[in-house]
Structures are given as C-alpha cells and as structure tokens.
C-alpha cells in the first residue's frame, strides 16, 4: 500500500480530496450504494487505485460498533443445492463488504443449531444466514433470539425470521407443465426426502400441476438425492412401464435413473421422458442431455444479503423474497410414443 506525502497510509479523506467528492460519496462507492452515478464511481475508484487505499475494517468497526461479519449456518454441504447456495450467499456478503464466518453442521438437531448460533453471537456477528434445509429448522430458530437479523435461506421464514428462497413449487410446475405440453398423461415423480423443504415443495408442485390438468398422481417414489437412489428407483420403474414421463427431484437422482433405464433397454426420451431439477454443470452432458429446472444461486445470495443489509442498516421489518426458477429444455424430453399417451 502506498503512503501519502506526509508518510502516513492513505485515508478515506485523501481519496475524497483526490476525486473531488465528499467523503460520504467515497463511503457510498466503497459500500456499493446504488445512488452513485457511473462517472462519480469511476473517479472514486481511480483515486482509490492511485492512492492504494484500503478500508480499515477494524477502525470502522469501532465507529459503527459492527463487526462487518455475517455468520452462515449450513448443513448438507455434500449436496449440490446447499453447497451452491452457500457459495451464492458468501459471494454476495463479500461483495457487500462483509466477512463470512461459516459453521457447517453434521447434524441438524436443536442442540447443534443452538451451539452454532451461540458461537456466532460470541463473535458479535452483524447478521446470520441459515442454510439448513429441513422443515423443523424454523421452529428451532424461533426459540433462539440472537439479537441480530436472521435470514433463513431456502424458506419464506416466519414472523420472527426473514426468508429468501427459490420458488421450488413453481419449478416443479414448470417441469410437469412442460411434460403435459408434450402430450404426456401419466407423469411420475422421483422425490427428494420429505423432511427437506425443497423435497416437499417440489412434490407439492408435481401434485398441483397434475391436479390442475385432471391427471392421476399415483406414481411417486422417494429417494435421498443421490444418484444411487435414482438408480435403484430407476430399476423398479424400468420393470413397471406405467409412466410415459418422470419428473425427478434433482439432477443427481436423474443421472442414476438414466443409467438404470439404459441398462434395461428403456430409451430416453423415445420410451420415457425425464426432467430433473438444479441444472448442475454436468446436466448438459448426461446421455441424453437432461431437461431440467435451473436455480439461480447467485441471485438467491444477493436477495439474502439485500434483506440482511436492510435489517442491519435500517432496522427493517422481517420480510421474504422469492427467486423464480427457469426451465432448461434439452434432449431428455419428447412427445410420448403413439399409443402410449
């Protein structure tokens, strides 16, 4: 870092003087405030680069009485959805100028969650994002008041806790609606675990879409999100060729299902159409490339931090936000074969 002419490290006031703006404007630029013109932002950023200015977080914390740290409580990080939700929240927090302290849980019981929350309060975090995708988590959060804003990511929250989530039910409706548009009338579902919020909502969306179309809701199998469980369910479905199409709760289970169908000589999409959920990077390289539902984890992270910052900065009330998913059409879906509709 360069030093000013008097030998000290550059300060915010030095940046303001060089850029010809107020120190409040420099602060807005540093904190990514939206109400700054492009020209002004560029002048301030050029001054920061020329002086080699770096924000003194410790000093700022003394003034604001904030730690500039967000606690993130997470579980099930071996799964694609939770892991990428964590990355989205972490990046959004860093973009907003916050450090991130992560507590990864091996179990999601009341005691483990309380211990992690106490750890965050001991660190004097400014807010807590909770990425624990189980239905009982909100009930546990209601019992613990950490005294800072809490956002449940993957849920709408409740009267005590804000929420930010991808619209899982809508994603399932998009998947099933696509299959109905293709002409399918017997559409099964390979669901995720029922005690996961995502799994329950995707199954609910499957049922709702079929009910609205006057179609049966009889073919339902529950997996555990793994390719192995998709494979075992796929073997059973290959022997019982009732469904002409399947909505699978995530891409990993769809991968196992596709292998089981291939081994049994069931052609996708000629014999059975398959739609997944997540749009993980490998989905476009499955055989065949998988039609699926994309979740925007970066946008979810930004929405989480938007709520968090409003509560931290302005004391805003508990609120919720929903990110809309998108259907990605590939080669694993087609019209049903003649006579099988």
Integer Cα distance of 220 and 46 in angstroms: 59
In order along its 341 residues, the chain shows pLDDT tens digits of 455 555 567 777 888 899 999 877 887 787 666 678 889 989 988 988 888 776 655 445 444 456 889 999 999 999 999 999 999 999 998 888 889 999 999 888 889 999 999 999 888 899 999 998 887 888 888 888 888 999 999 999 888 899 999 999 999 999 999 999 999 999 999 999 999 999 999 999 999 999 999 999 999 999 999 999 999 999 999 999 999 999 999 999 999 999 999 999 999 999 999 999 999 999 999 999 999 999 999 999 999 999 998 998 888 888 999 999 999 999 999 999 876 65
Q: What is the pLDDT of residue 236?
A: 97
Distances (CA, A) of 239 to 44, 232, 243, 265: 66, 11, 11, 11
Whether the CB-CB separation of 98 and 41 falls below 8 Å is answered with no
Q: Is 287 within the bounds of a domain?
A: yes
> Do 155 and 198 share a domain, yes or no?
no
* CATH code, domain with 236: 3.40.50.2300
Q: Are residues 121 and 49 in the same domain?
A: no
Q: What is the helix (H) or strand (E) element at residue 11, kind and residue range?
A: none
Evaluate whether 90 touches 301 at the Cβ level (below 8 Å): yes
Q: Is residue 341 part of a domain?
A: no
Residue 151 sits in the same domain as residue 268: no
In a domain, 228, yes or no: yes
pLDDT of the residue at 48: 86
Name the residue range of residue 105's domain.
64-165+297-323
Are residues 290 and 172 both part of a single domain?
A: yes
Q: Considering the domain boundaries, does residue 204 fall inside one?
A: yes
Same domain, residue pair 156 and 238: no
Asked whether the bond before 331 is cis by omega within 30 degrees of 0, the reply is no
- Kindly state whether residues 91 and 158 are assigned to the same domain: yes
Residue 333 lies in a domain: no
107 lies in the same domain as 118: yes
Examine the domain organization and report whether 211 and 133 are in the same domain.
no
Same domain membership, residue 94 and residue 157: yes
Residues 68 and 144 in one domain: yes
Query: Could you tell me if 183 and 282 lie in one domain?
Result: yes
Within a domain: 38: yes
CATH number (domain holding residue 17)? 1.10.260.40
Q: Does 331 map to a domain? A: no
Q: How many domains does the chain have?
A: 3
> pLDDT tens, 213-260?
999 999 999 999 999 999 999 999 999 999 999 999 999 999 999 999
Taking the C-alpha atoms of residue 331 and residue 291, their distance in angstroms, rounded to an integer, is 6
Please indicate, yes or no, if residue 154 is contained in any of the structural domains.
Answer: yes
User: Is the domain of 79 the same as that of 190?
Assistant: no
């Amino acid at each position: 870092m360069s030093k000013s002419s008097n030998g000290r490290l550059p300060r915010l006031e030095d940046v303001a003087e060089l850029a010809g703006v107020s120190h409040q404007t420099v602060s807005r630029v540093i904190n990514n405030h939206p109400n700054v013109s492009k020209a002004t932002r560029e002048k301030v950023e050029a001054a920061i680069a020329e002086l080699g200015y770096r924000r003194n977080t410790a000093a700022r914390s003394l003034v604001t009485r904030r730690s500039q740290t967000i606690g993130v409580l997470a579980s099930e990080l071996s799964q694609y959805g939770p892991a990428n939700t964590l990355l989205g929240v972490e990046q959004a927090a860093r973009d907003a100028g916050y450090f991130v302290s992560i507590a990864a849980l091996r179990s999601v019981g009341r005691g483990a969650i309380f211990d992690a929350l106490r750890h965050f309060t001991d660190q004097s975090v400014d807010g807590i994002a909770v990425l624990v995708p189980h239905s009982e988590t909100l009930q546990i959060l209601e019992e613990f008041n950490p005294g800072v804003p809490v956002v449940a990511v993957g849920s709408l929250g409740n009267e005590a806790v804000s929420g930010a989530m991808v619209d899982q039910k809508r994603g399932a409706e998009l998947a099933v609606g696509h299959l109905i548009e293709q002409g399918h009338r017997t559409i099964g579902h390979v669901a995720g675990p029922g005690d996961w919020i995502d799994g329950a909502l995707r199954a609910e969306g499957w049922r709702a879409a079929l009910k609205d179309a006057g179609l049966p809701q009889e073919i339902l199998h529950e997996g555990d999100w793994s390719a192995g469980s998709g494979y075992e369910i796929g073997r059973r479905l290959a022997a019982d060729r009732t469904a002409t199409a399947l909505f699978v709760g995530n891409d990993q289970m769809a991968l196992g299902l596709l292998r089981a169908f291939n081994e049994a000589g069931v052609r996708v999409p000629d014999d059975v159409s398959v739609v997944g959920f997540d749009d993980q990077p490998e989905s476009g390289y499955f055989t065949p490339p998988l039609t699926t539902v994309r979740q925007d984890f970066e946008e979810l992270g930004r929405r989480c931090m938007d709520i968090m910052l409003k509560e931290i900065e302005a004391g805003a009330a508990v609120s919720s936000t929903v990110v809309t998913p998108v259907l990605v059409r590939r080669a694993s879906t087609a019209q049903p074969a003649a006579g099988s509709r």
